[in-house]
Amino acid sequence: MAETLTATPAVEKQAFRDAMAHLGSAVNIITTDGPGGRAGFTASAVCSVTDSPPTLLVCLNRSASVYPAFTENQVLCVNTLADCHESLSNLFGGKTPMEQRFEAAEWSSLSTGSPILTDALVSFDCKITQVTRVGTHDILFCEAVAITRNDERHGLVYFDRRYHPLMRQSAC
Ligand SMILES: NC(=O)c1ccc[n+]([C@@H]2O[C@H](COP(=O)([O-])OP(=O)(O)OC[C@H]3O[C@@H](n4cnc5c(N)ncnc54)[C@H](O)[C@@H]3O)[C@@H](O)[C@H]2O)c1
Ligand SMILES: Cc1cc2c(cc1C)N(C[C@H](O)[C@H](O)[C@H](O)COP(=O)(O)O)c1[nH]c(=O)[nH]c(=O)c1N2
């Protein structure tokens, strides 16, 4: 007997989002620069994939205003935010004009030319090596070509739709 195909997902979008709000995650500003222009957005959908070659993934909504810049430049930097970066995260989280986003912090560059946030916890300067399309998002697989770290700062976590500082354990 033919199986009935249905467009209704087993879990509704809102139920999925409510559930995902229970997963704490680091907060990152993903930046790029190149022929497609300078752009940046806040992302929590970031994780390590493999260390050989050193690869992270970043999930980017194709409807975001920054999407064309990332696809054209093919490079990006994952700037992981510290506890002092809550307002910067909101600024890069949508709607604000691009110049205004970048004016709010200091930037340098490493290897690819993507903006490096000078006081980030860690910055992974990357080239995009592979892209997989899933639903509304593109999964960008990114190979790190340079890294800069700040080992003193405290972290920032997004959990339950709010920001929380994440303290380093002091040395004993
Ligand atoms: N992966 C993403 O695209 C993502 C992640 C976090 C937040 N956001 C956006 O930031 C804003 C505030 O988010 P919030 O966490 O305060 O409340 P929310 O209710 O919009 O989201 C709750 C959680 O659901 C997930 N989520 C939200 N939108 C998603 C999407 N389009 N695709 C996949 N997962 C998604 C995230 O894990 C998020 O933390 C919203 O506009 C949201 O869409 C997007
Ligand atoms: C805490 C938090 C976390 C995320 C986001 C927002 C916030 C506040 N946003 C949304 C993303 O930052 C926003 O869509 C972009 O800034 C693009 O917005 P404009 O289209 O330029 O207004 C987001 N978008 C995305 O494509 N992938 C992600 O992982 C996340 N994560």
- Ligand 2 centroid to Cα of residue 72, in Å, is 19
The C-alpha atoms of residue 38 and residue 42 are separated, in whole angstroms, by 14
Residue 171: the pLDDT is: 47
Among the listed residues 65, 75, 154, 82, the one whose alpha carbon sits nearest the alpha carbon of residue 115: 75
Say if ligand 2 is within 6 A of residue 102 CB: no
Q: Which CATH architecture is the domain 26-166 placed in?
A: Roll (2.30)
Please give the structure tokens belonging to residue 92: 């890069």
Q: Which residue has the higher pLDDT, 2 or 162?
A: 162
- Ligand 1 centroid to Cα of residue 17, in Å, is 7
Say if ligand 2 is within 6 A of residue 61 CB: yes
- Residues 69-94 pLDDT 10s: 999 999 999 999 999 999 999 999 98
Indicate the domain borders of the chain: 26-166
